[in-house]
Amino acid sequence: MYRLFPLSYLANSTLYFERIRHLPAPVILDSGKPAGQYGRYDIIAADPAAQLSYQDQLTHISTPTTKQQLSGNPFTHLQNLFNHYQISCPSPQQTEIKALPFCGGLLGYFAYDLGRSLESLPEQTISDIDLPDMQVGIYGWAVIVDHELQTAVLMSTPLVNEAEAATILQQLNDKSVVQADDFRLSTPFSSNMSEAEYHASLTRINDYIHSGDCYQVNFAQRFSSRYQGDPWNAYKRLREHAPTPYSAYIETANGAILSHSPEQFLEVRNARVTTKPIKGTRPRGNNPALDAQLKLALHDSEKDRSENLMIVDLMRNDVSKVCEHGSVRVPKLFAVESYANVHHLVSTITGKLASNKTPIDLLAQSFPGGSITGAPKIRAMEIIEELEPHRRSIYCGSIGYLSFSGQIDTSITIRTLVCQQGEIHCWAGGGIVADSEIADEYQETYDKVNNLLWPLEETIGKRSG
């Protein structure tokens, strides 16, 4: 049966995560509250009943007692796993549980390179991050923190028995602190391309655009360093500098993912589909007058509106494949949203999921998100593969949940870092169109991630203690 256990509301819900972090496969989906302007819920979970990963064209499914290795479409295996564990939604009388965004189900990540399972793409880039292209778990319990109502609960599903729920509750109420090792960078971040190489790649993209190959290509550079200590402390440090509504921290056997994304990918709630692509960026000003001027310049920019509109058209086409005919709309076009370090141009696309389609069908038809590929999508991905030196891994993939209730909410993993084997990587990119200025695009990549790179570079030379 479903159960709800009240918890004390903590504005900083990372404290609850730290109390269950020792359990297998811990994850926190973090709204960035209370500092962040957007977002409402934090979702914290661990110790899944089953795990699914996809790597080297094979899907691996494991439970405490079984292991499977499957070939074929990983999204089909994901749907089958979800169907196997899906538990009937709480009864209408259990209104408190039905009101929660997540009542058990899938939590995890989908790397950009999972797109290779859907399309035939060339293999030219260096693959040096050993993370599965997809890793999710079936989670039978979760802590849900609602920053709007200032409440917190432990929600447990029928996958968790009464004794197990009591143990989890005891751990969540244990206020003793387990100190994590300090995090320290060894060297400043360095890019995987020189400024001259960046310029050469954008010149090549411009040639492709003018020859009619594509309209837009999202091109990124990667920044890397070495580190010592605990990535969780790096995540908390960045959280202070970059509160964003689609933040997440995921620990795996292969490494840690630290995401501070402002961008929603796909949401389904009561069969209503929403996607909110971001295209168009300006830095924040250092005084109110300059900040307002930069915000207005973004709103009125013909180039940024054109870039945004191309991706709106692409995403409308993607979601239309699984939505009821004629239901897809664009209720918000070119809205400006402001974050700690940048203003973004954001549009909103909605539709109604067709009755014979599932949220996983929607994910498969839309993956990877058009805002981080370009248009047309497949040709843009081929050009990305040609010109970016390294595979993207988690960058420009997605993190999120699919609840047993059928509700899904996922991010686009921009502003996202990976820690693995003593190395840390962070990416930044932008949409390149016919009238892009190379120098401006190059600077924009730094505008997007400086507030992630600088706070970590401040740890260089610090002693643990």
pLDDT digits over 125-159, tens only?
999 999 999 999 999 999 999 999 999 999 999 99
Asked if residue 465 has pLDDT above 50, the reply is no
Tell me how far CA of residue 82 lies from CA of 66, 254, 301, in angstroms. Answer: 16, 24, 44
pLDDT tens per residue, range 206-222? 999 999 999 999 999 99
Encoded tokens for 240:
């202070």
First CA to last CA distance, the chain: 46
Confidence band (pLDDT; 50, 70, 90) for 94?
confident
Show me where the domains of the chain are located: 3-457
The answer to whether 367 touches 133, Cβ cutoff 8 Å, is: no
Crossing angle (nearest 10°) for helices 231-241 and 438-457: 120
Tell me the mean pLDDT in the region 67-77. 96
Encoded tokens for 193:
């391309």
CA-angle at 397, arms to 416 and 84, nearest 5° = 120
pLDDT recorded at residue 36: 63
Q: Where are the beta strands (DSSP E) in 147-215?
A: 151-156, 183-185, 190-191
Encoded tokens for 354:
């067709």
Asked if residue 464 has pLDDT above 60, the reply is no
- The C-alpha R_g of the chain, in whole angstroms, comes to 21
**Greater pLDDT, 87 or 387:** 387
pLDDT recorded at residue 463: 59
Give the rounded percent of residues in the chain with a pLDDT score beyond 70: 97
pLDDT tens per residue, range 343-359? 999 999 999 999 999 99
Catalytic residues: 263, 279
pLDDT tens per residue, range 36-54? 667 899 999 999 999 999 9
Tell me the mean pLDDT in the region 290-316. 92
- Residues listed for the chain: 465
Q: Which is nearest to 5 in space by CA: 177, 164, 175, 176?
A: 164
Confidence band (pLDDT; 50, 70, 90) for 178?
confident
Looking at every residue in the chain, the average pLDDT score rounds to 93
Q: Omega into 24 within 30° of 0, i.e. cis?
A: no
Look at domain 3-457 and name its CATH class: alpha beta
- Torsional sign, CA 43, 361, 375, 304: negative
Highest mean pLDDT: which of 165-179, 295-309, 413-427? 413-427
Confidence band (pLDDT; 50, 70, 90) for 92?
low
**What's the pTM?**
0.94
Confidence band (pLDDT; 50, 70, 90) for 35?
low
Phi, psi angles (nearest 5°) of residue 88: -50, 140
The answer to whether 223 touches 185, Cβ cutoff 8 Å, is: no
